[in-house]
Chains A and B, each alone.
Chain A
Amino acid sequence: DAGVIQSPRHEVTEMGQEVTLRCKPISGHDYLFWYRQTMMRGLELLIYFNNNVPIDDSGMPEDRFSAKMPNASFSTLKIQPSEPRDSAVYFCASSLGTALELFFGEGSRLTVL
Chain B
Amino acid sequence: KNEVEQSPQNLTAQEGEFITINCSYSVGISALHWLQQHPGGGIVSLFMLSSGKKKHGRLIATINIQEKHSSLHITASHPRDSAVYICAVRSGKETSGSRLTFGEGTQLTVNP
Contact = CB atoms under 8 A, between A and B. Distances in A.
A94 to B, nearest CB: 11
A42 interface: yes
Interface size class of A (residues with CB under 8 A): 20 to 34
Interface in A48-76: 48, 50, 55-56, 59
Interface in B82-112: 86, 88, 90, 97-100, 102-105
A15 B109 CA distance: 36
A33 B43 contact: no
Q: Which of B31, B99, B103 has the most CB of A within 10 A?
A: B99
Interface size class of B (residues with CB under 8 A): 20 to 34
B42 interface: yes
Nearest to A50: B98
B86 A43 contact: yes
B98 A107 contact: no
Interface in A31-50: 31, 33, 42-45, 48, 50
Contacts of A33: 98
Interface string B46-89: 00100000000000000000000000000000000000001010
Contacts, number: 53
- CB-based closest 5 A-B pairs: A104-B43, A43-B102, A98-B98, A102-B45, A101-B45
Contacts of A89: 41
Contact of A91 (B30, B33, B43): B43
B42 A102 contact: no
Contact of A55 (B30, B48, B97): B97
21 contacts: A42-B86, A42-B104, A43-B86, A43-B88, A44-B102, A48-B97, A55-B98, A56-B99, A59-B99, A89-B41, A95-B98, A98-B90, A98-B97, A99-B31, A103-B45, A104-B35, A104-B43, A104-B45, A106-B41, A107-B41, A107-B43
